[in-house]
């Protein structure tokens, strides 16, 4: 897996479930270009255990992201029908009912592969048959993408390790502070803390283009 930080986020068009139950066939992050920052995160599978805790945690914090102009989008390698079915199951029964942000169906596994989070490998054998090794599902990848479609932050966890939604919000705050003020954010920076003037040429180059 290689880092996407500083690079254009891979473009895709895929089916997704939006607004908690509506299936759309041609969802793309490109709709947010020039308008919104995006938190795009992968989770391994529907109808599992750690995954619903993360999906509900992002939903609980959705107003915090929206107040910052940030769109939250989830993705797994399950089908859109599987996503829809899980959305009908109440939270107290292990479901994700109440989640309203889009959930993308990466059934071809090409989105997970493009973002570098597909667990497993596939190849053609001597007879031309496609063979796969590993679970062929997504690690817990998270990407903060700016309005230009550039990945500014990347985090990838192994399957058992759930993510910290507050840290995702902190990274949004840090990015937006940098974009608005041209100052860089030190370790453990929180919104309202002092920042620092940049001394790295790469920062100045970035600011000169935005």
From residue 43, how far is each of 21, 49, 106, 141, 175 by CA, in Å?
19, 11, 11, 7, 24
Q: Enumerate the active-site residues.
A: 51
What residues contact residue 85 under an 8 Å CB cut-off, 6+ apart? Answer: 46
Instruction: Find out whether 77 and 109 touch, Cβ atoms under 8 Å.
Output: yes
Kindly report the length of the chain: 210
What residues contact residue 48 under an 8 Å CB cut-off, 6+ apart? Answer: none
Pairing of strands 70-76, 37-42: parallel
Pairing of strands 70-76, 103-105: parallel
As a whole number of angstroms, the distance between CA 196 and CA 176 comes to: 14
């Amino acid at each position: 897996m290689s880092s996407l930080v500083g690079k254009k986020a891979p473009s895709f068009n895929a089916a997704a479930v939006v607004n908690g139950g509506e299936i759309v066939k041609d969802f793309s992050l490109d709709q947010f270009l020039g308008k919104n920052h995006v938190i795009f995160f992968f989770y391994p599978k529907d109808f599992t255990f750690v995954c619903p805790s993360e999906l509900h945690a992002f939903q609980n914090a959705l107003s915090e992201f929206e107040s910052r102009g940030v769109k939250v989008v989830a993705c797994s390698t399950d089908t859109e029908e599987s996503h829809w079915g899980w959305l009908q199951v109440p939270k107290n029964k292990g479901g994700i009912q109440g989640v309203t942000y889009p959930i993308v169906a990466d059934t071809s596994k090409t989105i997970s592969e493009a973002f570098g989070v597909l667990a497993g490998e596939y190849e053609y054998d001597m007879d031309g048959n496609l063979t796969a090794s590993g679970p062929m599902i997504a690690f817990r990848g998270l990407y903060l993408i700016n309005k230009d479609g550039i990945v500014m932050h990347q985090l990838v966890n192994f399957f058992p390790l759930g993510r910290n939604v507050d840290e995702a919000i902190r990274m949004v705050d840090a990015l937006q502070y940098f974009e608005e003020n041209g100052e860089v954010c030190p370790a453990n920076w929180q919104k309202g803390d002092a920042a620092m003037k940049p001394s790295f040429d790469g920062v100045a180059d970035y600011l000169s283009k935005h």
